[in-house]
């Protein structure tokens, strides 16, 4: 889970029809002679067979263009496909057909809500609700818009869904969606109670069992989650989303032998059209994180349908996650090559990020830097994060100017905000290797101030001061080597090399102070760690003759 809240509320369910939440309400809201055909369209929408659903609703609209609800449904398909401009056009067409199409107003409002235009959204929501104080289906529709938005307002959603439930408490969907609101608040106990009530109201609604399964899955109680999903399938064998979640659950629980038949069933229900197959590859990569399978399916699609350029995106992503950087780099370049052919094709920050990561791993630092900075153009709010990534990428590279470039990007990040301890440490290393010993020491001083038990920080302070006092006129490094020994001695074997360095320094210090006993003791410590250390053995031999 992300944000401790189910990812499906923030990614999947923010597209209402994409995650099957409004089908019931549409059935309540619409009365038409083409009921069976309409139900087929809604079922296609529910099963994420968007091409078939769009064809069905387009056909219905052509037959009865004066009924605005069909334009609304067309908008819902586009919304589920993230074609937001097309969705807005369809909702607007429905409203032009009839100014009484409150569903169309809700559609426009949720687009505004997703874009952070809260006042515009509220205006349309209020207009839709005006005169509908007893219309529980429409009230719930608005509540769902608030709940499943990209920018959800859980309190508004709870208020509206509670009102809808109170108007007709027999409807299971209202209870189930109240459960979703509780999930968004992080109250999983109340959510499960709401789902259980929904089951009491309607034992034959598969969606509720799927929601309960998500809670069990989030708690890693995969057996209970599996039980709920199997219940959903038993109730509705053609309910595609239950198979989709069951597939994902089998991946999580490493029950790989059951994966393929469930996946095949989902594909069959979602439709055999190419768009359904492309969505499957996205799901395999983005949600299920089954990168091997995503690559397998994606390569088949691109071989037979080379126009499906978005497949390159998911191939680049999948190869990158599998640390196959040359393949990821190649697929990213194919993606950008195809996007360049059509100005309507969109790029996303993740496209540049996967290309940048792959380029860096392949030592192509100029390409990596170019694409990381492109992310900042798209998402300025990520500037600090990207500066840090660029800095560490250069530090880890084999670039001839690696420390200069890393220092450049750490400095840019520092100009935006205070560096965290890890960044501060690597900034110190860059400064040290570039010969800026005083500045490096200041960086390491900040590190050990925040993490006083970090042995490596004290060691680097010792080395910086050793370089600042190369002739040991002041023995500036002494207190730092002593502190390093104090902390690192907990694991002498692991820290043997650096402990020997520290003991050597202190042995020399005490000999210069004419404290031969102390000097000998540190050489003996070296012998304890490395009985064959020739330098320590020779110096002990000399000291023992005095």
Long-range contacts, stretch 323-326, CB < 8 angstroms, 24+ apart = 323/361, 325/357, 325/358, 325/361, 325/362, 326/358, 326/362
Per-position pLDDT tens, the chain of length 546: 333 344 444 444 444 434 444 444 444 444 444 455 889 999 899 888 898 999 999 999 999 999 999 999 999 999 999 999 999 999 999 999 999 999 999 999 999 999 999 999 999 999 999 999 999 999 999 999 999 999 999 999 999 999 999 999 999 999 999 999 999 999 999 999 999 999 999 999 999 999 999 999 999 999 999 999 999 999 999 998 899 899 889 988 888 888 878 888 888 887 666 877 888 899 899 888 999 999 999 999 999 999 999 999 999 999 999 999 999 999 999 999 999 999 999 999 999 999 999 999 999 999 999 999 999 999 999 999 999 999 999 999 999 999 999 999 999 999 999 999 999 999 999 999 999 999 999 999 999 999 999 999 999 999 999 999 999 999 999 999 999 999 999 999 999 999 999 999 999 999 999 999 999 999 999 999 999 999 999 999 999 887
For 252, the 3-state DSSP assignment is helix
Question: Cβ(266)–Cβ(272) under 8 Å?
Answer: no
Q: Domain residues of the chain, as ranges?
A: 1-180, 433-544
Q: For residue 18, which of 112, 88, 82, 103 has the smallest C-alpha distance?
A: 82
The token duo for 445 is 């001083």
Rounded-to-integer distance, Cα 432 and Cα 414, Å: 17
144 membership: H or E segment, kind and range: helix 136-147
CA 473 to chain centroid, in Å, comes to 54
Q: For residue 460, which of 476, 482, 445 has the smallest C-alpha distance?
A: 445
- DSSP letter (8 states) at residue 20: T
DSSP-assigned states of every residue in 255-279: -GGGHHHHHHHHHHHH-SSHHHHHH
Residue 434: half-sphere exposure toward Cβ, Cα within 13 Å: 21
Look at residue 216 in the predicted model and tell me its pLDDT: 96
- DSSP letter (8 states) at residue 420: P
How many beta carbons lie within 10 A of that of residue 68, not counting itself? 23
How many beta carbons lie within 10 A of that of residue 545, not counting itself? 6
Q: For residue 344, which of 378, 374, 309 has the smallest C-alpha distance?
A: 309
Q: For residue 483, which of 507, 456, 510, 504 has the smallest C-alpha distance?
A: 456
Two domains, one topology: 1-180 and 433-544: yes
Look at residue 272 in the predicted model and tell me its pLDDT: 62
pTM for this entry: 0.65
CA 297 to chain centroid, in Å, comes to 22
**Alpha-carbon Rg for the chain in angstroms:** 32
Rounded-to-integer distance, Cα 503 and Cα 499, Å: 6
Question: Cβ(48)–Cβ(240) under 8 Å?
Answer: yes
Secondary-structure class of domain 433-544 per CATH = mainly alpha
Burial of 166 (0-12, 13-18, 19+ CB in 10 A): exposed
How many beta carbons lie within 10 A of that of residue 493, not counting itself? 7
Rounded-to-integer distance, Cα 160 and Cα 125, Å: 11
CA distances from 434 to 401, 402, 414, 470 (A): 10, 10, 18, 16
Question: Cβ(333)–Cβ(355) under 8 Å?
Answer: yes
How many beta carbons lie within 10 A of that of residue 323, not counting itself? 11
Q: What is the CATH number of domain 1-180?
A: 1.25.40.10
Question: Cβ(270)–Cβ(279) under 8 Å?
Answer: yes
Non-local (6+) Cβ contacts of 39 within 8 A are 27
As a 3-state breakdown, the chain gives helix, strand, coil percent values, each rounded to 5, of: 75, 0, 25
Q: For residue 367, which of 327, 394, 337 has the smallest C-alpha distance?
A: 394
For 225, the 3-state DSSP assignment is helix
- DSSP letter (8 states) at residue 5: B
């Amino acid at each position: 889970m992300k944000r401790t809240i189910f990812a499906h509320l923030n990614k999947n369910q923010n597209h209402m029809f994409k995650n099957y939440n409004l089908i019931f309400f549409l059935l309540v809201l619409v009365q038409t002679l083409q009921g069976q055909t309409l139900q087929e369209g809604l079922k296609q929408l529910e099963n994420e067979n968007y091409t078939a659903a769009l064809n069905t609703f387009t056909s219905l609209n052509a037959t009865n263009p004066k009924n605005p609800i069909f334009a609304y449904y067309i908008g819902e398909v586009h919304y589920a496909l993230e074609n937001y401009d097309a969705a807005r056009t369809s909702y607007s067409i429905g409203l032009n057909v009839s100014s009484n199409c409150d569903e169309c107003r809700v559609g426009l409002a949720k687009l505004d809500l997703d874009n952070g235009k809260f006042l515009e959204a509220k205006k349309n929501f209020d207009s839709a609700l005006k005169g509908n104080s007893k219309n529980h289906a429409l009230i719930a529709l608005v509540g769902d818009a608030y709940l499943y938005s990209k920018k959800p307002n859980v309190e508004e959603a709870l208020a509206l869904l509670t009102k809808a439930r109170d108007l007709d408490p027999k409807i299971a969907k209202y209870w189930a969606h109240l459960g979703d609101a509780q999930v968004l608040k992080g109250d999983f106990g109340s959510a499960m109670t709401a789902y259980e009530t929904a089951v009491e109201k309607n034992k034959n609604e598969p969606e509720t069992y799927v929601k309960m399964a998500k809670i069990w899955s989030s708690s890693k109680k995969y057996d209970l989650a599996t039980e709920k999903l199997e219940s959903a399938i038993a109730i509705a064998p053609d309910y595609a989303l239950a198979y989709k979640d069951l597939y994902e659950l089998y991946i999580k629980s490493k029950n790989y032998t059951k994966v393929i038949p469930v996946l095949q069933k989902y594909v069959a229900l979602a439709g055999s059209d190419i768009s359904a197959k492309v969505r499957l590859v996205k799901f395999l990569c983005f949600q299920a994180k089954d990168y091997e399978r995503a690559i397998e399916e994606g390569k088949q699609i691109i071989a037979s349908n080379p126009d499906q350029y978005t497949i390159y995106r998911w191939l680049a992503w999948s190869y990158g996650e599998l640390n196959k950087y040359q393949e990821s780099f190649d697929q990213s370049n194919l993606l950008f090559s195809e996007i360049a052919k059509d100005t309507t094709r969109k790029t996303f920050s993740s496209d540049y990020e996967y290309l940048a990561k792959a380029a860096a791993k392949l030592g192509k630092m100029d390409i990596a830097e170019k694409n990381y900075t492109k992310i900042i153009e798209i998402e300025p709010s990520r500037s600090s994060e990207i500066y840090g990534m660029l800095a560490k990428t250069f530090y880890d590279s084999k670039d001839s100017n690696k420390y200069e470039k890393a220092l450049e990007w750490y400095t840019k990040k520092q100009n935006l905000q205070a560096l965290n301890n890890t960044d501060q440490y690597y900034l110190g290393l860059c400064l040290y290797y570039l010969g800026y010993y005083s500045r490096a020491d200041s960086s390491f001083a900040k590190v050990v101030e925040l993490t006083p038990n970090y042995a490596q920080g004290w060691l680097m302070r010792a080395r910086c001061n050793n370089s600042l006092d190369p002739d040991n006129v002041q023995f500036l490094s002494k207190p730092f080597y002593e502190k390093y020994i104090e902390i690192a001695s907990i694991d002498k074997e692991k820290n043997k090399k650096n402990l020997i360095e520290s003991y050597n320094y202190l042995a020399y210090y005490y000999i210069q102070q004419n404290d031969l006993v102390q000097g000998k003791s540190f050489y003996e410590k070296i012998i304890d760690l490395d009985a064959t250390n020739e330098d320590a053995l020779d110096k002990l031999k000399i000291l023992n003759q005095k």
